[in-house]
Amino acid sequence: MYERKPGDIIVAAKPRSRWRQPIIALVAILIALVAVELFVTQGHTNIGIYGLFGLAFGFVLQKSGFCMTASFRDLFTTGGGRLARGSIVAIAVAMLGFSILVATGAREPFVLPVGWHTLVGGFLFGLGMVLAGGCATGTLFRVGEGNIQFMFALLGAVLSAPLFLVLLNKVEFAMGKPIWLVDYVGWQGALLLGFAFLGIWFLIVQWNEMRMRSK
């Protein structure tokens, strides 16, 4: 390690150009738009639309720093509720969007069975998020930022997915019964219960945030 000596001249580092990052971003966007145009002209319109949606989705994620893992972690560490409120809004929009798609016949509803495998899968998923330091969305936009740690996390997710698929195909287990609130209380009742749950969650987040700030 170099030690400074009396009389050493310290030269300030040359500041980076403030235009470099915007220029790189503009070039990347133009390349992406050209790729989308090529997909559309070749008859792959769906892929082009998915590409545009992916660009917009990634931009929103990066600018907001949204991460489901952080939305729960911050409640217990810093007490911050910004990401938790973002999660509530995201779930509310998803509920409305899914209801509209099913009501208009644009998409068929699908309900997965619930059983002990749900608990095991949730535990493994939560453990993976804690070890990786973020959820899937957080991992993706941090990879785009050049974070080495999350590059390895993404690589692990990509490699483990087919391995678990092979494992699950070889393991037989009893599937539980699908539970869909619509079958019991109808669409309106299911939406009301869902929004009521989100409302209670929002109040808990607000209360926790005020409690942590008062300490």
Express each pLDDT in 15-51 by its tens digit.
666 777 778 878 888 888 888 888 888 888 888 888 8
CA dist 33 and 49 (Å) reads 11
Whether 123 and 133 map to the same domain: the answer is yes
Q: What is the mean pLDDT of residues 155-169?
A: 80
Give the pLDDT confidence score for residue 17 in this predicted structure: 65
CA dist 182 and 80 (Å) reads 34
Whether 141 and 166 map to the same domain: the answer is yes
Query: How many residues in total does the chain contain?
Result: 215
Whether 138 and 45 map to the same domain: the answer is no
User: Is residue 160 in some structural domain?
Assistant: yes
User: Is residue 27 in some structural domain?
Assistant: yes
Q: Residues 13, 14, 15, 18: what is their CA dihedral angle, to the nearest 10 degrees? A: -160
Q: What is the mean pLDDT of residues 170-177?
A: 67
CA dist 106 and 199 (Å) reads 28
3-state SS string over 55-116? HHHHHHHHHHCCCHHHHHHHHHHCCCCHHHHHHHHHHHHHHHHHHHHHHCCCCCCCCCECCH
Q: What is the mean pLDDT of residues 124-136?
A: 82
Tally of structural domains, the chain: 3
Whether 126 and 167 map to the same domain: the answer is yes
- Greatest mean pLDDT range, 67-71, 128-132, 168-172, 202-206: 202-206
pLDDT in tens, 47-88: 888 888 888 888 888 888 888 888 888 888 888 888 899 889
Whether 125 and 164 map to the same domain: the answer is yes
Of 74, 81, 67, 68, residue with least CA distance to 204: 81
CA dist 39 and 49 (Å) reads 9
User: Is residue 138 in some structural domain?
Assistant: yes
For residue 198, give Cα distances in angstroms to 32, 135, 182, 202.
37, 20, 17, 6
CA dist 118 and 214 (Å) reads 38
User: Is residue 11 in some structural domain?
Assistant: no
Whether 54 and 72 map to the same domain: the answer is no
Query: What phi and psi, each to the nearest 5 degrees, are found at residue 113?
Result: -70, 150
User: Is residue 39 in some structural domain?
Assistant: yes
User: Is residue 1 in some structural domain?
Assistant: no
Give the pLDDT confidence score for residue 203 in this predicted structure: 94
Whether 101 and 131 map to the same domain: the answer is no
For residue 142, give Cα distances in angstroms to 68, 129, 132.
14, 14, 12
Q: What is the mean pLDDT of residues 112-135?
A: 81
Structural domain for 94, as ranges: 66-111+180-215
Whether 106 and 186 map to the same domain: the answer is yes
Give the pLDDT confidence score for residue 173 in this predicted structure: 60
User: Is residue 5 in some structural domain?
Assistant: no
User: Which position has the higher pLDDT, 150 or 14?
Assistant: 150
Give the pLDDT confidence score for residue 13 in this predicted structure: 56
Over pLDDT 90: what percentage of the chain? 10
Whether 73 and 60 map to the same domain: the answer is no
Q: What is the mean pLDDT of residues 121-132?
A: 83
Terminal-to-terminal C-alpha distance of the chain: 42
Q: What number of H helices and E strands is found in the chain?
A: 8, 0
CA angle 147, 142, 91 (to 5 degrees): 160
Query: What phi and psi, each to the nearest 5 degrees, are found at residue 4?
Result: -70, 145
Give the pLDDT confidence score for residue 108 in this predicted structure: 81
Whether 20 and 51 map to the same domain: the answer is yes
Q: What is the mean pLDDT of residues 169-184?
A: 74
Whether 135 and 156 map to the same domain: the answer is yes
What's the mean per-residue pLDDT of the chain? 82
